[in-house]
Amino acid sequence: VLATGASDVLDLDSLLSAEELELRQKVRDFTRQRIKPGIARWYEDAVFPLDLATELGELGVLGMHLEGYGCPGRSAVEYGLAAMELEAGDSGIRTFVSVQGSLAMTAIHTWGSEEQKQEWLPRMAAGEVIGCFALTEPTAGSDPASMATFARRDGTGDDAGWVLYGAKRWIGLASVAGVMVVWAMTDDGVHGFLVPAGTPGVTATPIAQKLSMRASIQCDVVFDDVRLGPEALLPAARGLRGPFTCLNEARYGIAWGAMGAARDSYEAALAYSMDRLQFGKPLAGYQLTQEKLVNMLLEIQKGTLLALHLGRLKDAGTIRPEQISLGKLNNVREAIAIAREARSILGGNGITTDYPPLRHAANLESVRTYEGTDEVHTLILGRHITGLDAFH
């Protein structure tokens, strides 16, 4: 159910096909069996459970929406449902699936040569090779056009390679990646490059001091005169449309995923409030608690309906970037508010890792920042409705 049992007031499940419901159940079972039992420990110990990569490949959620090359070829709605269930476990695990499928694999699938697709995609879909997507830099976050990482031609002629230098920051999974998709400025604008693990001159260092996304890996990456052959170039990508096309995919998945974290927070608060007695009766029997639960549920049902609408548009091939911005902005913003409100129902117990809401709230601070901050999506929508660009 989109929000379990009596909580699916709008009967949103009736909008899903039998196949979609089956897929969702499969991913929900995986989350219950493989993520929920370990997540508090992984979060406390700041561990990304690498074994999950091949398991998620077997589950069929890596590059889920892509066709061919061993990819599952499922619909946008099915991908969204999977993101929602995985993020009900933890945003860090859903982030791995997004970076792998929506960013790294989409970049290769959309912009790569036939040889690049054959070489990387089947193993990435199986989770045997992890990919990362290096766009953000220490001084270029919301404004990737100002990137300083540069690739210059190494010689002349068709078989000339490249020399890559610069630095990237906040790159998910970079230290465990078998292949990096790196976006760099060239004399001919922004281009994408595939950098295999072990290429001399590349170092990836996990960022340790995180209070969010602790069961995930984000890295600083340095490229120190990295020599690449001509085959490293993603031949079809030209300019920022290359990475932004991939970001559309990831932002779409986030609109669904955030509702998974929200639903898990709500369900934890509902269960706790039914059990916890104060002043002689369950917390759920107090008007103030019921108002909190109902306000959470309103936003979960609305946000899930919004995500589903975006999914149907995407499957119809008509979705536009500003619609994705609306979904990402709204659903992550509401999910954080829901997770925090859920924590308040749990009282002091809510600040421990015994319960998920505060972990979700902390994770969602990253989710509202990456793939376009709240401010970026607000201004994308502002530009859409006014025709005036307030970025520059």
Within 10 A of 60 (CB to CB), how many other CB atoms are there? 18
Contact pick of 241, 281, 295, 347 for ligand TGC (by CB under 6 A): 241
Q: How far apart are CA 320 and CA 95, in angstroms?
A: 22
**245 binds ligand TGC per the rule CB under 6 A:** yes
Q: What's the min distance (Å) between Cβ of 380 and ligand TGC? A: 5
Asked if 47 and 175 touch (Cβ cutoff 8 Å), the reply is no
Asked if residue 144 binds ligand TGC (CB under 6 A), the reply is yes
Residue nearest to ligand TGC (CB): 172
Shortest distance, CB of residue 52 to ligand TGC, whole angstroms? 16
Separation CA 222–CA 218 (nearest Å): 13
R_g (Cα) of the chain, nearest Å = 21
Indicate the residue among 40 and 240 with the shorter CB distance to ligand TGC.
240
Q: How many residues bind ligand TGC (CB under 6 A)?
A: 27
Answer yes or no whether residue 127 interacts with ligand TGC by CB under 6 A: no
Q: Is 87 a binder of ligand TGC (CB under 6 A)?
A: no
Determine which residue in the list 59, 61, 125, 135 makes contact with ligand TGC, applying CB under 6 A.
Answer: 135
Q: Which residue stretch of 1-9, 66-74, 141-149, 281-289 sits at the interface with ligand TGC (rule: CB under 6 A)?
A: 141-149
**From 70, 201, 206, 321, residue interacting with ligand TGC (rule: CB under 6 A):** 321
CB of 124 to ligand TGC, least distance (A): 15
- Cα separation of 197 and 201, whole Å? 11
Q: Which stretch binds ligand TGC (CB under 6 A): 68-76, 85-93, 244-252, 277-285?
A: 244-252
Assess 239 for contact with ligand TGC (CB under 6 A).
yes
Cα 367 to Cα 210: distance, rounded to the nearest angstrom: 13
Q: In the set 240, 305, 313, 381, which binds ligand TGC (CB under 6 A)?
A: 240
- The answer to whether residue 55 is catalytic is no
What residues have CB less than 8 Å from 93, skipping those under 6 apart?
35, 39, 52, 86, 87, 215, 216
In angstroms, the CA 308 to CA 127 distance is 27
Give the one residue of 218, 265, 323, 331 binding ligand TGC; rule: CB under 6 A.
218
The only residue of 31, 100, 116, 136 in contact with ligand TGC, by rule CB under 6 A:
136
Q: Which of 231, 365, 371, 375 is catalytic?
A: 371
Site for ligand TGC in 346-385 (CB under 6 A): 370-372, 376, 380
The Cα–Cα gap between 261 and 239 comes to: 34
Under the binding rule (CB under 6 A), the answer on residue 320 touching ligand TGC is no
Nearer to ligand TGC, 168 or 343 (CB): 168
Between 100 and 289, CB nearer to ligand TGC = 100
CA–CA separation, 305 and 37 (whole Å): 29
- State the catalytic residues: 371
Chain residues in the site for ligand TGC (CB under 6 A): 95, 99, 133, 135-136, 142-145, 170-172, 218, 239-241, 244-245, 247-248, 321, 370-372, 376, 380, 391
